[in-house]
Amino acid sequence: MTSEAEDSIVEVALHEARDKMHRAIEHAKAEFASVRTGRAAPALVEKLRVDYFGSEVPLQQLAGFHVPEARVLVIHPYDKGALRSIEKAIQASDLGVNPSNDGQVIRLVFPQLSEERRRDLVKVVRQRAEEARVAVRAARRAARHDLETLERDGDISSDDLDRAEKDLEKLTHELVTEVDRLLAHKEQELLEV
């Protein structure tokens, strides 16, 4: 096999690993956004599943969101008939907020978080960060396995394998560092009074 073909095989394997790792980071960001910080944010409710005419639909498909004040989230349903279903979904969630329905919109007023609740949320965020790190490392492991198989089959040289593994290790380190940075930012946000 030509050196150019070997390079493209390695690039494909590294590209797939990079994609998987970046998806893990994006998932972690979404998970962090869904953890309540005492401030109102659409990310807290937009993924809530709402029973809408017999189908489970994410709230973001049924309503628009508005944050008029730091601790108030207003939900504007596109269909007023969905108000009751949205209200039920919010009450059944673990948000710990009671929705206020005026027949047009639903208002959520988020209370200040207690110190104990903040510490509990930090534990949750740390767990989600660890899940992201594990996902990044799993992508690295899968890519390394693919590269070793390519080398064993004679599709790439051992030098190419070494170079690819170094690139993979560097990428893994960068993305684990990114998860740590995101975690530190979210912890600071949660502990800020």
What domains sit in the chain, N to C, each tagged with a CATH number? 3-34+115-191 (1.10.132.20), 42-109 (3.30.1360.40)
The pTM score is: 0.71
Task: Tell me the pairing of strands 55-58 and 63-69.
Answer: unpaired
DSSP string covering 47-100: T-EEEETTEEEEGGGTEEEEEEETTEEEEEESSGGGHHHHHHHHHHSSS----E
Other beta carbons less than 10 A from residue 128's beta carbon = 21
Task: Tell me the pairing of strands 72-77 and 100-101.
Answer: unpaired
Q: What is the CA radius of gyration of the chain?
A: 22
pLDDT in single tens digits along all 193 residues of the chain:
455 666 688 899 899 999 999 999 999 998 888 776 667 788 888 888 999 888 899 989 999 999 898 889 999 999 888 899 999 888 888 777 889 889 889 998 887 878 887 888 889 899 999 999 999 999 999 999 999 999 899 888 889 899 999 999 999 999 999 999 999 999 998 887 6
